Amino acid sequence: MELSLERPPLALIACSDDWMSRALESVFQQHGYVVAHTRSGSQTLELARLSNHDLLVLDESLEDVKAVAVCRTIREGGQFDHSVPIVITAPTPVDPRARMAAFAAGAWEYCSHPLDLEPVFVKLETFIRARGELLTTRAEEFVNSTTGLYTAFGLRQLAGKLGARALRKHEAFACVAFAPQVHDREIGSSTLWKESAAGFADVAHVFREQSRQSDVVGHVGDLRLAILAPDTDAAGARLLVARLQRELDRASQTKSIGGKVRLRAGYSAVSDLAESQVNVAELVHRAESALDHAPIQGEGDAIVSFDDLPVF
């Protein structure tokens, strides 16, 4: 059975065994797939962050990072697209314990030899069709209708485009993640918006109006925002936070927003994205990790760099 989609689906096959890799490529091509290859688990994780494939096939021949470990990392990582079906393949007859371990790690299907191909590809067609419907729905939600900022999905899609340009030009790049807080002198800072979600939308409006034309501002959570800032190093990231805080203070004084707002921020910045060997999706992840360490209470700055986080 062949897939009847507008374009052939792309399958990423991760396999360290050359013979098995060619065999998997052949069978997937016969069923209408375009196939890309990788030989290592670590490279698979890097490619998975790009979210540009429709199916991920992990063979148990992977040596540097085992297939089940790759699968579990993707399932638990917020920077991955969890709508991509993951299939784990084994070159040996079925092992019930291995099958259960694969499903526990988040695999959608587990295949061992000898393999009855037709039922497997019927399942995969169902999986990929469901993913296509989800992507269509996501595309309609590229921008948050309340705040006018990009959704987390929209931000992720634009991250790749901005990163490609920065790589070509060897530009600096920064991502800053924010958790705006209503500040009350009696109770300190609170992430709860007293007036309703409209208060958060007012803060988002300030972000949108004060960002540069080259910046991308979007959501990375219910009450978190992020700015992707091309051609911006670590010093520029801190200046960005300071400028936004000044504008929020001014908006509070003019009653444009309800109450005084204090910014908690975490950032990750590199002076040359190409030389750093870090993609923009990873910068977003690092900025959010830094934000998790920003102090919640206090009157002073609450800005944390990923580079300053303790190494365990």
Rounded to 10 degrees, the C-alpha dihedral 123/125/131/137 comes to: -130
Domain boundary among 111, 139, 167: 139
88 plus 160 within the same structural domain: no
Are 25 and 13 a contacting pair, CB within 8 Å?
Answer: yes
Are 41 and 35 a contacting pair, CB within 8 Å?
Answer: no
184 plus 218 within the same structural domain: yes
288 plus 180 within the same structural domain: yes
- Domain tally, the chain: 2
209 plus 303 within the same structural domain: yes
If you average pLDDT over every residue of the chain, what do you get?
A: 86
Q: State the pLDDT at residue 113.
A: 77
Classify residue 37: in a domain, yes or no. yes
Res. 50 pLDDT band, cuts 50 70 90:
low
- pLDDT of 229 higher than 90: yes
**Residue 95 structure tokens:** 């092992």
Of 199 and 44, which is predicted with more confidence? 44
Q: State the pLDDT at residue 10.
A: 92
Question: Among the ranges 178-192, 214-228, 252-266, which has the highest mean pLDDT value?
Answer: 214-228
β partners of residue 213: none
Residue 267 belongs to a domain with what CATH number?
A: 3.30.70.270
- pLDDT of 189 higher than 50: no
Asked which of 50-64, 135-149, 263-277 is least confident by mean pLDDT, the reply is: 135-149
Residue with tokens 């959704």: 151
**Residue 250 structure tokens:** 């001014």
Of 2 and 55, which is predicted with more confidence? 55
Res. 259 pLDDT band, cuts 50 70 90:
confident
Res. 3 pLDDT band, cuts 50 70 90:
very low
Are 38 and 44 a contacting pair, CB within 8 Å?
Answer: yes
290 plus 175 within the same structural domain: yes
Q: State the pLDDT at residue 86.
A: 96
Cα 302–Cα 222–Cα 267 angle in degrees, nearest 5: 35
SS3 262: strand
Res. 195 pLDDT band, cuts 50 70 90:
very low
88 plus 114 within the same structural domain: yes
130 plus 174 within the same structural domain: no
Classify residue 147: in a domain, yes or no. no
Res. 188 pLDDT band, cuts 50 70 90:
very low
295 plus 157 within the same structural domain: yes
Helix spans in the chain (H): 18-30, 41-48, 67-76, 96-104, 117-139, 152-169, 197-210, 234-253, 273-276, 280-292
Q: State the pLDDT at residue 184.
A: 56
Classify residue 145: in a domain, yes or no. no
Q: State the pLDDT at residue 12.
A: 94
193 plus 266 within the same structural domain: yes
**Residue 220 structure tokens:** 């990375």
Classify residue 236: in a domain, yes or no. yes
150 to 54, 144, 181, 256: CA distances (angstroms): 23, 6, 20, 22
Domain boundary among 139, 160, 177: 139
Classify residue 91: in a domain, yes or no. yes
Classify residue 1: in a domain, yes or no. no
Domain boundary among 139, 160, 189: 139
- Average pLDDT, integer, range 260-282: 93
Classify residue 212: in a domain, yes or no. yes
For residue range 107-150, list pLDDT tens digits in order.
999 998 777 788 899 999 999 999 888 877 766 688 888 888 99
Distance CA 143, CA 147 (A): 8
- pLDDT of 15 higher than 90: yes
Residue 46 belongs to a domain with what CATH number?
A: 3.40.50.2300
183 plus 285 within the same structural domain: yes
Classify residue 252: in a domain, yes or no. yes
Q: Structural domain of residue 78, as residue ranges?
A: 10-139
157 plus 231 within the same structural domain: yes
Nearest C-alpha neighbor of 175 from the set 92, 237, 249, 238: 237
Q: State the pLDDT at residue 298.
A: 62
Q: State the pLDDT at residue 6.
A: 60
301 plus 165 within the same structural domain: yes
